[in-house]
Chains A and B, each alone.
Chain A
């Protein structure tokens, strides 16, 4: 079974609007961490935001927030007020604390339209 599932291969959003990128995960480990990374066309991987499985509140970092729904095993990334520079691939990742592995989803390519 896939550990991380990102069901949206590509998405479009109008500049200044909000967008939600979906991510679901599969684990039986009670302790885990969820991450989002951005990969622009230049290729580097940029860390955006982190959510721990025991965190009570949703993580936020500037225009990024993580909508964590533990019972549904989802960790969607919300980008508010999209900017042209947000156009990139976005990867959801999970670390299972028992196994110390990081699993990545297949990514979502976001295009922000002017």
Chain B
């Protein structure tokens, strides 16, 4: 059963520490999204990739967040340095999307980050 895999599921860290979240998209999917979910802001789009190329990361605080896709099986979201306001659930989602085909997004189970 194909699924999006995210690690870690839970992370508690102290302010100022570096945090790296990883995502393995479903094999064959060409688009990967990173979302952040908080009670106040709901689901915010942070960044997304098509065929490993970053298409849009305008939703991401550039000074501390970075997103990469070093290969087709791995997407990473890094926060350095982390701050308490970064506490949230971070979702990775993948899908097969083209200009003429709209596919659904498949979500990972999320990484719950707590920054103390």
> Which A residues are closer than 8 A to B by beta carbons?
32-33, 35, 37, 43-45, 47, 50, 52, 91, 93, 95, 97, 100-107
Q: How many residues of chain B get a CB closer than 8 Å to chain A's CBs?
A: 24
Residues of chain B from 69 to 100 with CB closer than 8 A to chain A in the complex: 89, 91, 93, 97, 99-100
Is A33 touching B102 in the complex (CB atoms < 8 A)?
yes
Verify A52–B102 contact, CB threshold 8 A.
yes
Q: How far is the CA of A91 from the CA of B97 in the complex (A)?
A: 20
B105 on the A face (CB < 8 A): yes
B31 to chain A, nearest CB (A): 7
Q: Which of B12-20, B21-29, B48-56, B60-68 contacts A (4 or more CB under 8 A)?
A: B48-56
- The smallest C-beta distance from B5 to any residue of chain A, in angstroms, reads 12
| B43–A100 touching, CB < 8 Å | no
A47-B106, A93-B105, A95-B97 known; 18 new pairs, CB 8 Å cut-off, are A33-B102, A35-B104, A35-B105, A43-B89, A45-B91, A45-B93, A47-B104, A50-B104, A97-B99, A97-B100, A100-B31, A100-B50, A101-B48, A101-B56, A102-B93, A104-B43, A104-B45, A105-B42
Determine the chain A residues whose CB is within 8 A of the CB of B35 once the complex forms: 104
Q: In the complex, what distance in Å separates the CA atom of A45 from the CA atom of B37?
A: 11
The residue among B97, B100, B102, B110 with the most chain A CB atoms within 10 A of its own CB is B102
Q: Which residue of B lies closest to A53 (CB)?
A: B102
**CB < 8 Å neighbour of B45 from A37, A47, A103:** A103
CB-CB under 8 A from A100, the residues of chain B are: 31, 48, 50, 55, 97
